[in-house]
A and B are shown apart, each in its own frame.
Chain A
């Protein structure tokens, strides 16, 4: 079953006085199946963050549609967006985006509390997730008191505690050391094995090599995509590296 469908997506940024138009996304189309783990790669300025922002409904496209389980995201009313985002999507960001005013537990509870869930129910949900993320001992600590890896795992816990249809990650390993990065990627892979659909934007070849499919974007357009097939992480890594080389040396992809 296709959970996410992106059709002819385009985004044009216009300068303040109407001039200076920048085409960030051009005619991008792809689909994500239920339970899939997709990585989106591209250089800085290739449009991948714009794409993610549109998928997360932080931004509206200038043309094209996004369907999440058949629902047109671009048509969701502004007033319903917050609830929609809270219930259907989970986010993991490069800079964690944890609130300094809450301890880790309360940060994880945040979307549930916003949704009006009772404390007992929340605590019941948190317990296995916290254990899984290995942050049970630091739940009462504040973001500035724990390591980057712990912060990011808390952020993942916050993203999955709502049981979202789609987990969106924006450079989740960007601010982590290699050891924490590896641990996080293993976590993503195991979440995916349990059926969580994941869409991840990343720079890191290593991170992307965990994914089932990698989509490459260049200058706002879909450049290429590769499937894992039966490949190991190492083989996948090699494939990605080759594609990136092609991308960098001026290959024209499918054009």
Chain B
């Protein structure tokens, strides 16, 4: 047999199986394309020249790893699915006289063509889209669009080389796996391979229970973790548990439930339940793993897209929380603040909405009767940690536009991220009467991104404020003398103001003026190491580069995972269609009408394909509390806003899912009814 024969056979095989290999090839092309793009972005000189480049590149490099891993798993998985379906074809070739080494040669050529097309088209497409992606990233990060071509020839060649090497390795792996599949099987087995999976599944109650337990534990962790510092670590534990639980419940759990349904004769032998239960059992056995994959992928897409879009969309809100005024200054010596005011005025910048108040902040621990200032926290967890900010009444009324009065021993209180219901509050050596829990407090950005609870206390006058300050100093001093010396525990003063029209450039100019005054006042920072001046417009750069790149990555990976989910759905529909065809015909012969058959099948297919989506929704729902706490780490404190992002993401994803379903269902019905 000559060489051309193999080449022609390989080509014909691919063409003949275009229904299954077409989407696979498309997915490979897109995976190559996306890997190329993200790798290109990670080394792109135009991104390196942007502000916040380190953050952006860190995030994008993380993306390169994820996309690379994804490519390996995804291409391998899809191929193994396709090879399994072709075993019969290989068996036939084998029987017709093609030896296994010849078959290996054909498979090798097929894989080679696949790799060639994937890499060729993928790289061309990637090169074409990289510039577009660069523009998108620049837009997201609020940078000017990079000019010219995106990379020099040398860089371009390196990136192409790395991409080609990775995918060549993947396809080699795929080839070895396929050949192994053919080599280990005997021709008769190959011929019968497709029918091997039709045995009735066994009910594995133990596995089902383990699955339920894993899922329950994962959900429990997600719901009950209030400690944000633990949330990130526990989140991954919960994710692993939920993934295990999902796989076990989809595989063992579904079968166990269906078996239980079948055991109930009165229920089972009803027209609708009869075909549905047995049909579902068969479907679940064939599809459980694939459906669990879809479910996990969907959940990942939902979490990523909702989280990153929430960060991006909520960025301005988060910025305003963290930096309540255009310029925020905290200092322990009022003299410097006066110098700052003068410097700003000298720079010709009129300060608007000025706010100024004296305060102290310190950390305390929650007790049933109030707050304790101590370093002996052996009995405490992070969740009982409280940040306390105390101001005097006059400053409070002025800053918030209120008109409260307080008798000695009375306070106003506002607690964030915790509840306190008692009428009195014990603090240090005194117990105060809470006159009222108020709705508004002075704006102080530094405590906003805190994960612990924040307690705003308003005392009647400056004397009381000074007295508490002294008491805190004494308390801390006893325990840690060196700390007292360092921090001084003097009264601090906050000064914040807005620039006209919140203009960024004016704010940045104000910052420059303040920096000059600041350096003159301090000489070195020893006078007040805790003093800060923060300008919102300046800080935004950091926010934008972090949130913008996370958002980009979230969307990028979301797209990739969605593509994978779509491909799996398509293949499921296809294999379902082939298997159902025979059953469809028999049922009609035995006395089911066309409509009835169509309806039952339609119902089952709907259940099978929307179960992953619904489960993904439930997963996301249970993940919400813990994710909400993780979001707090990124300065996003609005639960409601995040909820809308999650609901929005789910809605968009569900709509896309439904469209994909409708399109692939046509393939399915075509297969069934011909």
Contact = CB atoms under 8 A, between A and B. Distances in A.
- B is bound to A: yes
Nearest to B278: A101
Interface stretch (A28-36, A85-93, A210-218): A85-93
Interface string A79-97: 1011101110001010001
A145 B636 CA distance: 61
A100 B269 contact: no
Given A113-B271, A144-B199, A101 B593 contact: no
Contact of B274 (A56, A106, A118): A106
Contacts of A82: 588, 591-594, 596
B590 A110 contact: yes
Given A114-B271, A119-B269, A122-B269, A91 B592 contact: no
Nearest to B269: A119
A119 B200 contact: no
B598 to A, nearest CB: 12
Contacts of A101: 278-279, 281-282, 583
Interface string A143-157: 010000000000000
Given A101-B281, A144-B198, A79 B586 contact: no
A115 B593 CA distance: 12
B316 to A, nearest CB: 57
Interface in B259-284: 265-266, 269-271, 274, 278-279, 281-282
Q: How large is the interface on B (under 10, 10 to 19, 20 to 34, 35 or more residues)?
A: 20 to 34
B278 A102 contact: yes
Interface in B461-512: none
B403 to A, nearest CB: 77
Nearest to B591: A86
A61 to B, nearest CB: 19
Contact of B590 (A86, A103, A119): A86
A79 B269 contact: no
A99 B282 CA distance: 11
A13 interface: no
B663 interface: no
A79 B593 contact: yes
Contacts of A85: 591
B587 interface: yes
Nearest to B265: A119
Contacts of A67: none
A103 B278 CA distance: 10
A95 to B, nearest CB: 10
Contact of A118 (B269, B279, B281): B269
Given A102-B278, A114-B271, A116-B271, A97 B595 contact: no
Nearest to B270: A113
Nearest to A96: B586
Interface string B589-612: 111111110000000000000000
Contacts of B200: 103, 142
Contacts of B199: 142, 144
Contact of B589 (A97, A103, A106, A109): A97
A206 interface: no
B595 A79 contact: yes
Interface in B262-317: 265-266, 269-271, 274, 278-279, 281-282
B592 A99 contact: no
A121 to B, nearest CB: 10
Nearest to A159: B590
A122 B268 CA distance: 13
> 8 nearest interchain CB pairs?
A86-B591, A82-B593, A119-B269, A101-B282, A101-B278, A113-B274, A97-B586, A111-B591
9 contacts: A82-B596, A86-B590, A86-B591, A98-B586, A99-B586, A100-B198, A119-B269, A144-B198, A144-B199
